[in-house]
Structure 1
Amino acid sequence: MIAAGLAAWMSPAVARDLPDGFVFLRDIDPTIIQDIRYATSNNFMGRPIAGYGAGECVVKREVGLRLKAVQQELARRKLSLKMFDCYRPGRAVADMVAWSKNGRETAAERRYNPDFSKADLFRLGYIATHSGHSTGAALDLTLVDLTADNSGKFDPARNYADCTAPVAARAPEGSVDMGTGYDCSDAKGHTAASSITPAQRRWRNTLLAAMARQGFVNYSKEWWHFSLPGAGGQAYDFAIPSRRN
């Protein structure tokens, strides 16, 4: 009934931009913070990635409704979800594959995989050649403490420490300290890593528990990655459009 009601009140202009079953997360819960990094230069490739025509979180409708339920629970604790990636076009995955094989690796790129070459990212399971994100049922996200100072902004000219460094030295993300930055391809980014502090462990557990209560499953090599079993289906390759009111 909730999903049917949502479809009824969505404007034709918004619904027409996406395939059936997909929604803009902002249309379900505008309070969820979004920082869609692949639509910017603040990511492991250092540039916007193919298919990200807008910095919008697009998901399957059921996924969006469950994220809203998670957000409502977190809000009572003065916390918020922050989305880094949602639906990922197939062309973006192909762009990542080509990038990993281009034979070049800058210092900025190495911040995300400090202990091995980017050519090994797929072999080691940090990036998939067929991504669940392309079904609209997988997500990358973190938590924001709404009572904290989250004003730090990414400066592309600054030489930040790698993603495993203490939070004050690595690139700012305006979120709680999970022990690594987002997209950190390193053992420290594994959800159950033993090398993080008790406080960082508590934040990871808070996110895990809140997502699990709505049926989301975490990927063990990435504390930030969750999927909703049964909500996916086929992979898509439509570009992410701008949301229209």
Structure 2
Amino acid sequence: MKFKLFFLLLLLAFGITAQEQVMPRDFVYVKEVIPDIVLEIRYAGENNFTGKPVNGYNKPVAILNKPTAKALAAVQEDLMEEGYCLKIFDAYRPQRAVNSFIAWSREPGDTIAKQDFYPNLQKKNLFNLGYIATKSGHSRGSTVDLTIIDAHTHKEMDMGGTYDFFGKISHHNTEDISKKQKANRAFLKRLMMKNGFRPYAEEWWHYTLRNEPYPNSYFDFPVE
């Protein structure tokens, strides 16, 4: 009896694992919904705080659940009317990527990207300070990291700080940026909130759909 129970649990475990490898039907590639959006998926390459491609990012594509992609399309429409466009740095993030961040934080000697992303912080403190989470809204497919660019030149709007920089200058309430830079952040924030997103106080680029469809789920299918 115990063996049968163990076997059933083993099958269930393998079934869950197999299911996690496949993108759910109500998730979409953002480019299919917003063809003119620009992607710079940082975790698929080396230009990120780990200094190397992150586990689970097999291709530089952006994936979101359908309601989030639809809301983001409305933001893009608003921007295009004024000659601007969205650029995405990160969208859906598999749980295995989050797990790799946790493993990375426990390797004190691995600081290849420290100067560019966390020059004034110890990597072991990045979770406690709220810059990295052990469970990320990105893994629910409702969170996106982005900025605004000129629709013609693709030049990024000056936000007074770079993407994924871990420090107070990335906070929405920082006083260490110019009035113009504050206005640019406020412009992005206003459009995102208008279309159903909520901001994250410590990262000017980070937004989550307010009425997200999977508030308690964390998916692990790869980005590919």
| TM-score (normalizing by structure 2) | 0.86
Report the counterpart of residue 160 of structure 1 in structure 2: none
SS state at 1:23 partner = strand
Structure 1 vs Structure 2 CA RMSD = 1.5
Report the counterpart of residue 203 of structure 2 in structure 1: 222
Q: Please tell me the residue identity of whatever aligns with 1:184.
A: F
Match 2:220 to one of 224, 228, 237? 237
Question: How far 1:175 moved relative to its partner?
Answer: 1.2
1: distance between equivalents of 2:37 and 2:152?
Answer: 15
SS state at 1:111 partner = helix
Question: How far 1:223 moved relative to its partner?
Answer: 0.2
Gaps of at least 5 residues in structure 2 are 1-21
2: distance between equivalents of 1:239 and 1:219?
Answer: 25
Structure 1 pair 146/191, CA: closer, same or farther in 2 (3 Å)?
same
Q: Please tell me the residue identity of whatever aligns with 2:88.
A: M
1: distance between equivalents of 2:42 and 2:114?
Answer: 14
Question: How far 1:105 moved relative to its partner?
Answer: 4.2
Does the Cα contact within 8 Å between 1:105 and 1:118 map onto a contact in 2? no
Report the counterpart of residue 193 of structure 2 in structure 1: 212
1:167-206 equivalences under 5 Å are: 174-206=155-187
Indicate whether 1:144 and 2:149 are aligned: yes
Question: How far 1:192 moved relative to its partner?
Answer: 1.7
Bigger Rg, which one:
2
Q: Give the number of equivalent residue pairs.
A: 202
2: distance between equivalents of 1:39 and 1:107?
Answer: 17
Question: How far 1:109 moved relative to its partner?
Answer: 2.4
Q: Please tell me the residue identity of whatever aligns with 2:220.
A: D
Gaps of at least 5 residues in structure 1 are 1-16, 151-173
Q: Please tell me the residue identity of whatever aligns with 2:168.
A: A
Indicate whether 1:38 and 2:43 are aligned: yes
1:1-245 equivalences under 5 Å are: 18-106=23-111, 108-148=113-153, 150=154, 174-231=155-212, 232-233=214-215, 234-241=217-224
Structure showing the higher helix proportion among its residues: 2
% same residue? 38
Q: Please tell me the residue identity of whatever aligns with 1:237.
A: D
Q: Please tell me the residue identity of whatever aligns with 2:182.
A: R
2: distance between equivalents of 1:108 and 1:115?
Answer: 12
Question: How far 1:47 moved relative to its partner?
Answer: 0.7
Question: How far 1:191 moved relative to its partner?
Answer: 1.2
Question: How far 1:137 moved relative to its partner?
Answer: 0.4
Post-superposition, which runs of at least 4 consecutive aligned residues in structure 1 deviate over 2 A? 105-110
Question: How far 1:107 moved relative to its partner?
Answer: 5.3
